[in-house]
Amino acid sequence: MKIAILSRKYDLYSTRRLVEAANKHGHQADVIDTLRCYMNITSSKPTIHYKGNELPHYDAVVPRIGASITFYGAAVVRQLEMMNVFCVNDSVAITRARDKLRCLQLLSKKGIGLPITGFAHSLDEIKDLIKMVGGPPLIIKFLEGTQGIGVVLVETSKAARSVIEAFLGLKVNILVQEYIKEAAGVDIRCFVVGGEVVAAMKRQSQSAEEFRSNLHRGGEAISIEITEEERTMAIRAAHIMGLNVAGIDMLRSQRGPLIIEVNASPGIEGIEKATKKDVAGSIIEFIERSMESAKST
Angle at 264 between CA 263 and CA 269, to 5 degrees: 70
- Pair 118, 129: CB distance under 8 Å: yes
21 within domain boundaries: yes
Q: What is the CATH number of the domain that holds 12?
A: 3.40.50.20
Query: Can you give the CATH number for the domain in which 189 is found?
Result: 3.30.470.20
Please tell me whether residues 81 and 145 are part of one structural domain: no
- pLDDT tens per residue, range 224-261: 999 999 999 999 999 999 999 999 999 999 999 999 99
* Pair (186, 108) in one structural domain: yes
Radius of gyration of the chain (CA): 20
221 in Cβ contact with 247 (< 8 Å): no
> Do residues 272 and 210 both lie within one domain?
yes
Asked if the structure places residue 295 within a domain, the reply is no
| For range 262-271, the mean pLDDT | 95
> Quick check: 50 pLDDT over 70?
yes
Q: Are residues 75 and 50 in the same domain?
A: yes
For residue 114, the model assigns a pLDDT of 95
In a domain, 290, yes or no: no
* Containing structural domain, residue 85: 2-89
Q: How many domains does the chain have?
A: 3
In a domain, 294, yes or no: no
* Assigned domain for 297 exists: no
How confident is the model over 107-145, as pLDDT tens digits?
Answer: 999 999 999 998 887 777 788 888 888 888 999 888 765
pLDDT for res 238: 98
pLDDT digits (tens, 9 = 90+) for 62-92: 999 998 899 999 999 999 999 999 999 999 9
Q: Which pLDDT tens digit goes with each residue over 153-211?
A: 898 989 988 888 888 888 888 888 999 988 888 999 999 999 999 999 998 876 555 55
Domain end among 138, 155, 179? 179
Q: What is the mean pLDDT of the chain?
A: 90
Q: What is the pLDDT of residue 207?
A: 53
Per-residue buried b or exposed e for 206-234, using 16+ beta carbons within 10 Å of the residue's own CB: eeeebbbbbbeeebebeebebeeebbebb
For residue 42, is pLDDT > 90?
no
Q: Strand, coil or helix: what is 75?
A: helix
Domain of 148, CATH number, reads 3.30.1490.20
- Give the model's confidence band at 215: pLDDT under 50 very low, under 70 low, under 90 confident, else very high: low
* Residue 148: per-residue pLDDT: 53
224 torsion bin: left (phi>0), alpha (psi -120 to 50), beta (else): beta
Q: Is residue 145 part of a domain?
A: yes
Residue 291, in any domain of the structure: no
At 188 the pLDDT is 96
138 and 271 within one domain: no
Which of 152, 179, 206 is the endpoint of a domain? 179
